[in-house]
Amino acid sequence: MPNTVETDVLIVGGGPAGSSTALSLLKYSNLKVMIIEQNDLNSIRVGEQVNASLFDLLDYIGINKSDFEENSLLPGYSSLAAWGSSHISSRHSIFSTQVDSFQLDREHFDLMLLKQASEKGAIVFPRTKCIDFKQTDTAWTIELRHETRGDFTIKSTYLIDASGRQSHVCRKLGIPIEKYDDLVAIGTFLHFKDTKRAIKQEILLETVEDGWWYFAGLPNQEMVVSLFTDSAIVKEKQLQKTENWSELLSNTVHIKKMLANTSSNAKPWVRNAFSHISNVGAKSNFLAVGDAVASFDPISSMGIGFAISSACHAAKAIIDKANDSNTFLNYQENINAIFKHYLETKTLFYDRENRWNDSSFWKKRN
């Protein structure tokens, strides 16, 4: 590989937002697209519940249901929540008007999108890290490091941050970021001890003093159970230790019943789940997509859908820029409006729980 390569658009991050930006650009323009991904996509991916509207977005970027492997996409038949009282009710009546939900096999979904982007013309650099970004009037110069092949440079007209919640590129470029909370998820994957027993497509939420628990059956014969709480509570109660996390789990009323005859051999994983927004409007030839531009509390199940819709809008802003110099500012304004509406709706969700007014978790949200 030559030491310097050139492209029209460089996307940092090969998650759903990065791959969808590439697919959208490749479908609706002749622009040359490259994607940098720091991992080899073998790491555990979490977040799997999507609404049926996802398929319209996927259709727009050229992905069909037939592109999914068998059993990597399952309808969620039952979605329940004990939120606001210990009584279980249908989650749809509380949180959403969208009735049809699906559970994705996230590893397969992310890999499928990235593979499609590569097959349709994007050049993908896996296991590659960004070292430095510089911008002149005409182009970005990005210094990169591949795990085994060493250092190289990419020159690109446009740069896109699709690096997820850490907004890696935005932070490096000093883009203003507003963070709204310190929500984290701490969870594990489970399977039935009797491996022949079928997993039920069930989702259950249960609020507790320190946050809320989430249980879901997944497409790959697994289940996930996680506690959403604040990072300060994880630290104070040492919840990353299996025994402390399990003790909180054993105090639940409903979630613990879902775990009969299951086992997990892994220590709980911890993931950031905070809400934030990046304001990229003022930077020329630069955009952020997906979690990098705005991240949402997973209670909203908005993340994956937003990753793909923001990707479609970002691609359109780039394609239309030749005829309208305001497309990037309009893109950011649209993101700001979505985020404002999200914050209002989120407050309504959390206001439905009033049983723990002295708890630090609920005080911050009510």
Ligand X SMILES: Cc1cc2nc3c(=O)[nH]c(=O)nc-3n(C[C@H](O)[C@H](O)[C@H](O)COP(=O)(O)OP(=O)(O)OC[C@H]3O[C@@H](n4cnc5c(N)ncnc54)[C@H](O)[C@@H]3O)c2cc1C
Q: Which of 217, 219, 268, 290 binds ligand X (CB under 6 A)?
A: 290
Q: Is residue 35 part of the contact set for ligand X (CB under 6 A)?
A: no
DSSP 220: T
Q: Which H/E stretch holds residue 351?
A: helix 327-351
- Quick check: 154 and 5 in contact, CB under 8 A? yes
Binding status of residue 38 toward ligand X by CB under 6 A = yes
The C-alpha atoms of residue 310 and residue 312 are separated, in whole angstroms, by 5
Please report whether residue 318 would count as binding ligand X according to CB under 6 A: no
Q: Measured from the CB atom, is 289 or 318 closer to ligand X?
A: 289
Q: Which of 206, 210, 230, 291 contacts ligand X by CB under 6 A?
A: 291
Structure tokens at 245: 């996390």
Our finding on whether 164 is near ligand X (CB under 6 A) is: yes
User: Could you tell me the smallest distance in angstroms from the CB atom of residue 325 to ligand X?
Assistant: 26
CB of 32 to ligand X, least distance (A): 19
Does residue 173 touch ligand X according to CB under 6 A?
Answer: no
If DSSP codes are grouped into helix, strand and coil, which group holds residue 188?
Answer: strand
Q: Mind giving me the DSSP string for 191-212?
A: EESSTTSPPP-EEEEEEETTEE
Q: Is 49 in the site for ligand X (CB under 6 A)?
A: yes
- Identify which of residues 82 and 288 has a Cβ nearer to ligand X in the complex: 288
Is 219 one of the binding residues for ligand X (CB under 6 A)? no
Comparing CB distances to ligand X, the nearer of 47 and 268 is 47
Taking CB under 6 A as the criterion, the residue among 26, 50, 73, 288 binding ligand X is: 50
* Residue of 203, 206, 256 lying closest to 74 (CA atoms): 203
d(CA 19, CA 54): 15
- Tell me, by CB under 6 A, how many residues bind ligand X: 36
Identify which of residues 67 and 324 has a Cβ nearer to ligand X in the complex: 67
Residue with the two structure tokens 């780039």: 318
Indicate the DSSP class of residue 202.
Answer: E
Residues 6+ apart with CB under 8 A from 109: 16, 68, 72, 73, 304
* Contacts of range 196-199, beta carbons closer than 8 Å, 24 or more positions apart: 197/261, 199/223
Nearest approach in angstroms of CB 49 to ligand X is: 3
Using alpha carbons, select from 20, 4, 33, 13 the residue that is nearest to residue 128.
Answer: 13
- Distance of CA 346 to CAs 149, 205, 298, 300, Å? 45, 15, 10, 8
User: In this structure, are residues 286 and 250 in contact, taking their beta carbons and an 8 Å threshold?
Assistant: no
Q: In this complex, which beta carbon is closest to ligand X, that of residue 291 or of residue 353?
A: 291
**Whole-number Å distance between alpha carbons of 152 and 71:** 40
Please select the residue that binds ligand X; options are 80, 159, 162, 315, rule is CB under 6 A. Answer: 162
Shortest distance (Å) from residue 347 CB to ligand X: 19
Subset of residues 80 to 139 that bind ligand X, contact rule: CB under 6 A: 129-130
The single residue among 10, 12, 277, 288 that binds ligand X, judged by CB under 6 A, is: 12
Q: Is 234 among the residues that bind ligand X (CB under 6 A)?
A: no
**Does 352 interact with ligand X (rule: CB under 6 A)?**
no
Q: Is position 14 an interface residue for ligand X (rule: CB under 6 A)? A: yes
**Beta partners for residue 10, in sequence order:** 34, 159
| CB nearer ligand X, residue 174 or residue 195 | 174
268 near ligand X, rule: CB under 6 A: no
**What residues line the site for ligand X (CB under 6 A)?**
12-18, 36-39, 46-50, 129-130, 162-164, 168, 185, 226, 271, 273, 290-292, 298, 301-305, 307
